[in-house]
Amino acid sequence: MGLPGGRGRTIAAGRARELSALQLLVRMNVSVIIPAAGLGTRMGREKSGVSRKQFMLLDGAPILIHTIRKFLRCPSVREIVIALRAEDMEWARELVAAEKPAKTVRFVEGGDSRQASVENALATLPADTELVAVHDAVRPFIDPEIVEKVIAEAAQSGAAIVGIVPVDTVKQIHRKDKIKSTLPREHLVMAQTPQVFRFDLLKEAFESARTDQFIGTDEASLVERLERVEVSVVQGSDRNIKITKPTDMELAHLFLAEERGGEKS
């Protein structure tokens, strides 16, 4: 028995949209920027003396390398650009070369902030770049399938991010520690990465932010200021954690073991 007419048409339209987006991706040039020049002040200093979280070892490899591996597995990604501090360039190149990447992986010097690092990388992208994905260096558990979905959405809408609905009740406060109101969760999303945008749109957003001396917490906040497009949200995963504190490493080891167990089965 077929689906009721209205529901069947809705599903068919959704599948047609997904197919259209995937067909469009075949012809698009997609670059990924991974800002990795941060100092990781929230992580603290480990026994090994390494305090920058993107270089902490996870099963023998820096977190950054685990992150890069995920994008090397994404068919729609043409190149990966890593923004690093100058003193990290040489050994990072050696680490990436050992991966024998099938895609182009380039390095640029990062800035004193995430925003400056992404802007430096943007300035080096080829003129024929059409979509740019920006991803946190310390989110090594992004699912390549989700990457493909958010890129496909950005190909259609011009701007898309990965996000999840919060499970906790969120309160708005005032006077530092007094609750003002409870925010409805159905209107909230916790932003993750990657965040994907048309190249020209993202460049304009960064230029506007620099002119206005605006500092955003993510790339979407810069694009939102332009009021040119509505940024779409693609459902993410609670496994796509951002490793920012020592206890996150315990979860990271668990997730990595589960990933490798799934690959073997």
pLDDT in tens, 98-145: 999 999 999 999 999 999 999 999 999 999 999 999 999 999 999 999
Q: Which residues does 223 contact at the CB level (< 8 Å), separation at least 6?
A: 159, 197, 201, 202, 205, 229, 231
- Decide: 152 and 22 in contact? Cβ < 8 Å: yes
115 domain residue, yes or no: yes
Distance CA 214, CA 206 (A): 9
d(CA 140, CA 70): 7
On whether residue 2 sits in a domain, the answer given is no
Residue 158 lies in a domain: yes
Q: What is the pLDDT of residue 3?
A: 47
- Is 152 inside any structural domain? yes
4 within domain boundaries? no
Domain with 245 in it: what CATH number? Answer: 3.90.550.10
pLDDT one-digit tens code per residue, 217-250: 999 999 999 999 999 999 999 999 999 988 999 9
With CA atoms as reference, report the closest residue to 58 among 139, 115, 148: 139
pLDDT reported for residue 51: 52
- Segment 141-198, tens digit of pLDDT: 999 999 999 999 999 999 999 999 999 999 999 877 899 999 999 899 999 999 999 9
**Could you tell me if 243 and 249 are in contact, meaning their C-beta atoms sit under 8 angstroms apart?**
yes
Q: Which of 4-13, 51-60, 86-95, 253-262 has the lowest mean pLDDT?
A: 4-13
Q: 164 vs 11, 70, 229, 236, CA distance in Å?
A: 22, 20, 21, 5
Residue whose pair of structure tokens reads 């070892």 in the numeric block: 57
The answer to which of 18-32, 33-47, 93-107 has the lowest mean pLDDT is 33-47
Length of the chain in residues, anyone?
Answer: 265
How many structural domains compose the chain?
A: 1
Specify if 7 maps to a domain: no
3 lies in some domain: no
- Is 5 part of a structural domain of the chain? no
- Closest listed residue to residue 154, CA positions, set 34, 10, 35, 21: 21
pTM of the model: 0.87
- Which residue segment(s) compose the domain that 100 sits in? 12-264
